[in-house]
Chains A and B, each alone.
Chain A
Amino acid sequence: MENNRINVKNALLHGDLFTKLSAVLMGIGMIGHKQVTKGCIVFLFEIAFIFYMLSTGIHSLSMMPSLGDRAQEKIWNEAKQIYEYTAGDNSQQILLAGVVTCFVIAAIIVLWVLQLRFSYKLQLQLKEKGSVPTFKEDIISLFDKNLHITLMTLPCLGILVFNIVPLVYMISMAFTTYSKEDEHLMLFDWDGLHQFQRVLNMNGNIGRQFWHVLGWTIVWAIFATFLNYILGMILAMVINRKDTKWKGLWRFCFILSIAVPQFVTLMIMNIMLQPSGAINVLLQNLGLITSPLPFWQNAMWARITIIVINIWIGIPYTMLQITGILQNIPSELYEAAKMDGAGPVKIFFKITLPYMLFVTTPYLISSFVGNINNFGVIYLLSGGGPTYVGDTAGQTDLLVTWLYKLTVDQQYYNLGAVIGIMTFVILTIVTLVTYRNSGSYKNEEAFM
């Protein structure tokens, strides 16, 4: 029957008095349908919400359009003979309060819909069976068929408060003038898409840097992902060869190098490759070079050094991760190829690589995403440098490290937020395109 579908429309049209009343007084529908405790809890939420809105919520929302306009002022106090500061508006706090209020309103709307539907469900259950679950039964079901609610509530709350809210808050900053530029750290306004125009405009200073950084980020991600992948695979195959002895020892050597925390090895590398660091000293003592090599001082050197060091870090990981998958390649494929007289190089490119690419596409995508967002390697190795005068981005900065510099060092929050959004857009496009064209996507159901 039409009326039996549990949704908001049916609840409002065909609900009894209690169900309809719960559109205004949340929880009444449950109290009226013999679920008093639950109904009271829901009703308390409504009271808390109203209290919140009256005390701060409405004020926060009303401040959102202007983001505050009273500047901090210095007033001469004759009696005390000092300057006193009057508290001005703090736009950053106003924006945060506004974003939080929006989330609270969204949450109460979700609760409203849920309790309305639930009241209607209870009403139908009472009519049909004459009874509804008691509060005790509900609690028991939270540890049985509704266990997921018990287990997932806290983790979801954590993600909402400390990931989704911060992201929305940061994204909203992209549309404001919140920046140290022109002294907008205390008071700022909505700015529309102006910052996006600045970033995308190739002729401006910021835009020029953005396209430059973007280009390097993509070059870096491609090199870092595929070099590590292919070289790691070759290393795994060399170690797994039938004739290779002491397999465990070799594996242990490589795993030991990544067992040391990455930030420690990266800092060591940075020091070792300084002009007067250990590597330059060693090469000079051996008489191979006369003046130190500019590992971090020259843009091209720095880029190549970073990619090479990343290979050093990445190969053992790849080896670790894909050894098992490599051994799953059907041996008939190899034997057939050998019968046809294919050499090891040909076998690798015609059989191993295509097979691995097919099976590990999701792994490759996540490693590509990881490399685009690879903060640690760049920040600890080169710090993004060398940096040209007048630029905020260095020659080896990725979008993420530039984002860090713009927000934490320079306090150009709005520009930083725009860069973050652009990174997200690029990653989404890359992921969707590769995923849709990959074999594992087309056969996804087969794996599930």
Chain B
Amino acid sequence: MNEVAKNQLSPRRKLINFLVHLLLAILSVIWLLPIFWIILTSFRAEPGAYTNTFLPQGYTFNNYIKLFTDRNVLNFPKMFMNTLIIAIFTCIFSTFFVLSVSYSLSRMRFAFRKPYMNIAMILGLFPGFMAMVAQYFILKAMGLTEGSMIRIGLIIVYSACTGLGFQIAKGFFDTIPRSIDEAAVMDGATQWQVFTRITMPLSKPIVIYTVMTSFIAPWVDFVFAKVICRANADQFTVAIGLWNMLQKEYIYQWYTCFAAGAVVISIPIAILFIYMQRFYVEGMSGAVKG
């Protein structure tokens, strides 16, 4: 409305702009400081958890080498493989579960639809932890808490209940016009063909989002893994391994390796997260709209 005033900023506006940018710069430093610090620590030459200086005195690559070669105490490569196997299977099952449930709730009309959504909401109000304690007993009764069966137990725990997390994908499916489906049905397509040949190709963003979130879940969860694995060290996932490195008995020897491990795990996850955050934003605004 007043173009002239915008082009020739008054001194007061210049000052405000300067202060805003200064504030954002300071905040960015605060937000990035811990990440910066952990990367430095992962290259730190001095051992031990605590040092007398904020910045390392010497730099080395040995922490990374030790992390991937020392298999005696905390076997990180093994934990990495365990988590990878669990993540791949969890990813397959939960992607199928989430997409199936979301598509059915978004597109099909059946008597159980509303009750299902209400039940999902009620179950969401229970502390997730409460079911977990009992899940351990059920897995134990099924013999899935010993030896290599723990992996199957963890895959089940991570994927079995994912049908409750349908909100974001359903919000996305809701935005695809129904007229496309109806046209296909008129041309003689079955619902299955509509699902696999029409909706799925149109929903690439949400499929990618679902695949990535379910693949990431086993890497970043340590609570379920800790309850199910208990003391079976050879079945540990990466998250419990890293957690263990900070416990009293290991922290002096393993602290800088923990930093290295944290960096190794964080880089791929951070890349995936930054790549998929736009789908997250789209899904969120869909979900909020109802």
- In the complex, what distance in Å separates the CA atom of A314 from the CA atom of B100? 31
Within A141-179, which residues are at the interface with B (CB < 8 Å)?
Answer: 143-145, 147-148, 150-152, 154-156, 158-159, 161-167, 169-170, 173
Within B48-87, which residues are at the interface with A (CB < 8 Å)?
Answer: 49-54
Interface size class of B (residues with CB under 8 A): 35 or more
Known: A162-B131, A324-B285. Contact between A254 and B290, CB under 8 A? no
Extra contacts besides A154-B97, A262-B220, A420-B130 (16): CB < 8 Å = A148-B113, A151-B195, A152-B163, A158-B97, A159-B160, A163-B164, A243-B9, A260-B35, A261-B266, A272-B34, A312-B31, A323-B281, A360-B288, A376-B223, A420-B126, A440-B290
Question: Smallest CB-CB separation from A309: which chain B residue?
Answer: B34
Known: A151-B104, A158-B159, A278-B37. Contact between A170 and B133, CB under 8 A? yes
In the complex, are the beta carbons of B156 and A162 less than 8 A apart?
yes
In the complex, are the beta carbons of B97 and A325 less than 8 A apart?
no
Digit string of A369-404 for contact with B (CB within 8 Å is 1, else 0)?
Answer: 100010110010000000000000000000110011
* Chain A residues within 8 Å of B116, by CB: 152, 156
Q: Is B178 an interface residue (CB 8 A)?
A: no
- In the complex, what distance in Å separates the CA atom of A282 from the CA atom of B122? 47
In the complex, are the beta carbons of B277 and A261 less than 8 A apart?
no
Question: Smallest CB-CB separation from B6: which chain A residue?
Answer: A242
* Chain B residues within 8 Å of A104, by CB: none
* Chain A residues within 8 Å of B280, by CB: 320-321
Question: Smallest CB-CB separation from B286: which chain A residue?
Answer: A324
Within B111-170, which residues are at the interface with A (CB < 8 Å)?
Answer: 112-113, 116, 122-135, 137-138, 141, 156-157, 159-164
* Chain A residues within 8 Å of B132, by CB: 166
A-B contacts, 13 of them at CB < 8 A, read A155-B97, A162-B161, A167-B126, A238-B20, A244-B21, A264-B262, A267-B243, A267-B258, A272-B37, A321-B280, A325-B288, A376-B223, A423-B130
Residue from the set B34, B135, B265, B270 with the largest chain A CB neighbour count within 10 Å: B34
Question: Smallest CB-CB separation from B30: which chain A residue?
Answer: A312
Q: Is A362 an interface residue (CB 8 A)?
A: yes
Within B23-42, which residues are at the interface with A (CB < 8 Å)?
Answer: 23-24, 27-28, 30-32, 34-35, 37-38
Least distance between A309 CB and chain B CB atoms (Å): 10
- In the complex, what distance in Å separates the CA atom of A362 from the CA atom of B137? 34
Q: Is A26 an interface residue (CB 8 A)?
A: no
* Chain B residues within 8 Å of A143, by CB: 190-192
- In the complex, what distance in Å separates the CA atom of A144 from the CA atom of B100? 14
* A52-60, A118-126, A191-199, A424-432 - interface stretch: A424-432
In the complex, are the beta carbons of B219 and A261 less than 8 A apart?
yes
* Chain B residues within 8 Å of A288, by CB: none
Within A323-361, which residues are at the interface with B (CB < 8 Å)?
Answer: 323-325, 359-360
- In the complex, what distance in Å separates the CA atom of A150 from the CA atom of B28? 49
- In the complex, what distance in Å separates the CA atom of A250 from the CA atom of B138? 48
Least distance between B30 CB and chain A CB atoms (Å): 8
* Chain B residues within 8 Å of A133, by CB: none
Q: Which of these, A155, A167, A447, contacts B163 with CB under 8 Å?
A: A155
Q: Is B246 an interface residue (CB 8 A)?
A: yes
In the complex, are the beta carbons of A261 and B220 less than 8 A apart?
yes
Q: Is B89 an interface residue (CB 8 A)?
A: no
* Chain A residues within 8 Å of B104, by CB: 147-148, 151-152
Q: Is A407 an interface residue (CB 8 A)?
A: yes
- In the complex, what distance in Å separates the CA atom of A424 from the CA atom of B160? 21
In the complex, are the beta carbons of A253 and B31 less than 8 A apart?
yes
Digit string of A232-248 for contact with B (CB within 8 Å is 1, else 0)?
Answer: 00010011010111000
Within B235-265, which residues are at the interface with A (CB < 8 Å)?
Answer: 239, 242-243, 246, 255, 258, 262, 265
In the complex, are the beta carbons of B161 and A159 less than 8 A apart?
yes
In the complex, are the beta carbons of A324 and B160 less than 8 A apart?
no
